[in-house]
Structure 1
Amino acid sequence: MKFAPGYRRFAVPAFVGAAIFAFVLPPVGAFLLAFGAFVLWFFRDPERSPPKEGIISPADGRVSVIREEGDRVRIGVFMNVTDVHVNRAPVSGTVREVTHRPGAHKPAFSKDSDKNERVDIVVESEDGEFEISQIAGAFARRIHPYVSAGDELARGERFGHIDFGSRADVLLPPEYGVEDVAVEKGESVTAGESVVARSE
């Protein structure tokens, strides 16, 4: 099993503390051992197999946003604590820019989450310009994009993760309309595998 980068920062201190406290304060040692195991589970990074066609989900979770923004459509996926938090590219293309925007840390499922800290990644593909957003939540304080401007992204490839949170969006090109969306609000999706939109 692979793990997202950064898991050692949380897991190693927990396991070291568990080894020490196991002899001094066993209940504390047991808690730290359980926390270390939780960190490994939370940072898990399973392999995925993208389908042959369609725009695929950037995150595991439930669809929380489907809305029109001018001539474009946004699809957002809320990641619960039980979901894998490694994000995957909805399409293949060239990364044109990666922008970090500071902001609040409201719950990622709330309407105010659009003002949260975020990283926006613009990808130029054969089907147009896509914008992928990693949005922090109430507990997520670190967004980790893996890509930089000029990088080539393959469909389904890992492009980043968020520590302990929270939402990932894809803003479709103007060529796509709401009729091209293949999911509904509340639907469970899998990063790198579930199709969220199809072109005609």
Structure 2
Amino acid sequence: MKRSIPAIILMVFFISSCALFKKSGPSPDEFANYTEDISSDRITFPDLSEEAKKVAETAPKSSAISVDNDLEYALKAIKDNNKGERYWNGFTVLVYSGVDREQAFKAREELTEEFPDIKSEMQYQQPRYLLKVGKFVNRVEAQAHYHKLKSKFPTVRIIQDRFQREGYVNPDPVEDVERPDQNISEDI
């Protein structure tokens, strides 16, 4: 009790001393009539409809045919370049992956019974069997089959894969012909 009395007195002293300090600085009443003109520094924007008309009038009249021709040429060049590639990268839906042959064929039968419209492909990569569905360019295309198969096959997943290009023709082999001016025995 004796210790609490000085603590109470000290607390009363601190509370009363806070009222003694006044806030420094001007009062809000001194700023009541303050005004400032910043209109000269503001950024102004022209009317957008008028600017659009100006751009439309000054824009060069380009022909859609010239762009189409350039685009057609670029697409043909890409297509010709791709014909030279034997494989292309894409995605496939992996339904089953395991070493048990009977399980793999059982999964294939279940897949054809449940989803007769989906064509599957069985592969053997030693020591495992792979049951794959589809050949897709990107992952988004594979999502449709993935969501169909997920209910029946919970372990289904989308994986990256390489596919052989259909219609790929091996380029003509270069024959190794000996040149007539290369006769080593005569020079010795």
Q: Which has the higher contact order (CA 8 A, sep 6+)?
A: 1
Based on CA coordinates, which of the two structures has the bigger radius of gyration? 2
Structure-1-length-normalised TM-score:
0.21
Structure-2-length-normalised TM-score:
0.22
